[in-house]
């Protein structure tokens, strides 16, 4: 067990997922911090069965909430996960044996994403990687309300670890559609606040291109029905995002 690494998870209403991720972390560190922002489904009660620290805080937007959660960790080295993720044994072993001595190195993790029980090898979710292990003295999240990113200084070097994060993206089409609508509206607001526009190409061409990129060029059709669903949902998200952005500008012009 490490005593130089904190694992941070931001969650809300994740009763169905939180046990999976925590159990995959057993024996990895003595500091697992759960930043809960308003669960009402029994998540807090489930967490009482595990050796974790629970901080109940406000939702500040994706980036700002993750940034704040990192500051509450015990150690400077941070492994940041979502509640619908878990580590496989190979990645857990890699992390256990890392020499976390150079704050100028961050670690990129490979992902295996699932829709229901279907492992998505291609398309939107294929070959997914993200930097999720870093030293907070050098790296932290930006304050973006959605599609947040880690701010990496120029001197930072990225290394990739073996093994996978197992990402349970959506359990069914209802959850998938709900998330796409939520993210589309949040991103439209983000773009509007940055002064970005939604022209004809964005509204009409981008959704079509997005579908063909993920379903054909990225071989999403090899994932069967779920590959088609994923490509169509991403195109729907793109259409809704730029449609809502166009609507926001029209509404503003009438004021």
Number of domains in the chain: 2
Q: What does the pLDDT profile of the chain (255 residues) look like in tens digits?
A: 999 999 999 999 999 899 999 999 999 999 999 999 999 999 999 999 999 999 999 999 999 999 999 999 999 999 999 999 999 999 999 999 999 999 999 999 999 999 989 999 999 999 899 999 999 999 999 999 999 999 999 999 999 999 999 999 888 899 999 999 999 999 999 999 999 999 999 999 999 999 999 999 999 999 999 999 999 999 999 999 999 999 999 888 765
Q: Which of 143, 170, 197 marks a domain boundary? A: 170
Same domain (yes/no): 161, 233: no
- Interatomic CA distance for residues 28 and 34, integer angstroms: 15
Same domain (yes/no): 185, 135: no
Same domain (yes/no): 187, 136: no
What CATH number has the domain bearing residue 131?
3.90.550.10
Same domain (yes/no): 191, 231: yes
Strand pairing report for 118-120 and 140-141: unpaired
Strand pairing report for 105-115 and 29-36: unpaired
Give residues with Cβ within 8 angstroms of 251, minimum separation 6.
Answer: none
Same domain (yes/no): 42, 112: yes
Same domain (yes/no): 111, 137: yes
Q: Which of 170, 190, 222 marks a domain boundary? A: 170
- Interatomic CA distance for residues 228 and 222, integer angstroms: 9
Q: What's the confidence (pLDDT) of residue 255?
A: 59
Same domain (yes/no): 179, 140: no
Same domain (yes/no): 230, 164: no
Same domain (yes/no): 51, 39: yes
Domain membership of residue 216 as a residue range: 173-253
Q: What's the confidence (pLDDT) of residue 170?
A: 87
DSSP line for the chain: -EEEEEEEEEESS-TTTHHHHHHHTTTTEEEEEEEES---SSHHHHHTTSS-EEEE-----HHHHHHHHHHT-SSSEEEEEETTEEE-HHHHHHHHT-----TTEEEEEEEEEEETTEEE-SGGGTT-EEEEEEETTT-EE---SSS--EE--TT-EEEEEEEEEEEEEESSHHHHHHHHHHHHHHHHHHHHHTT----HIIIIIHHHHHHHIIIIIT-GGGGHHHHHHHHHHHHHHHHHHHHHHHHHHHHHHT-
CB contact at 8 A, 91 and 18:
no
Q: What's the confidence (pLDDT) of residue 252?
A: 80
Q: What's the confidence (pLDDT) of residue 6?
A: 98
- Interatomic CA distance for residues 79 and 31, integer angstroms: 11
Same domain (yes/no): 16, 36: yes
């Amino acid at each position: 067990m490490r005593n130089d690494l904190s694992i941070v998870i931001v969650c809300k209403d994740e009763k169905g997922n939180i046990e999976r991720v925590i159990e995959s972390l057993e024996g990895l560190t003595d500091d697992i911090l759960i930043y809960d922002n308003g669960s009402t489904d029994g998540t807090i009660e489930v967490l009482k069965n595990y050796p974790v620290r629970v901080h109940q805080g406000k939702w500040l937007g994706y980036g700002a909430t993750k940034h704040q959660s990192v500051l509450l960790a015990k150690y400077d080295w941070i492994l940041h996960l979502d509640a619908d993720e878990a580590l496989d044994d190979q990645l857990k072993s890699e992390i256990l044996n890392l020499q976390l001595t150079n704050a100028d190195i961050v670690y990129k993790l490979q992902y295996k994403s699932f829709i229901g029980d279907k492992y998505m090898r291609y398309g939107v979710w294929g070959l997914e990687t993200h930097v999720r292990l870093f030293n907070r003295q050098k790296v932290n999240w930006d304050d973006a309300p959605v599609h947040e990113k880690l701010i990496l200084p120029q001197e930072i070097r990225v290394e990739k670890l073996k093994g996978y994060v197992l990402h349970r993206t959506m359990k069914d089409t209802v959850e998938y559609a709900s998330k796409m609508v939520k993210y589309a509206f949040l991103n439209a607001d983000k773009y509007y606040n940055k002064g970005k526009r939604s022209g004809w190409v964005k509204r009409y061409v981008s959704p079509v291109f997005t579908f063909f990129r993920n379903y054909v060029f990225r071989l999403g059709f090899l994932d069967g029905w779920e590959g088609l669903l994923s490509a169509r949902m991403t195109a729907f998200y793109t259409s809704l995002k730029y449609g809502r952005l166009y609507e926001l500008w029209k509404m503003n012009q009438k004021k």
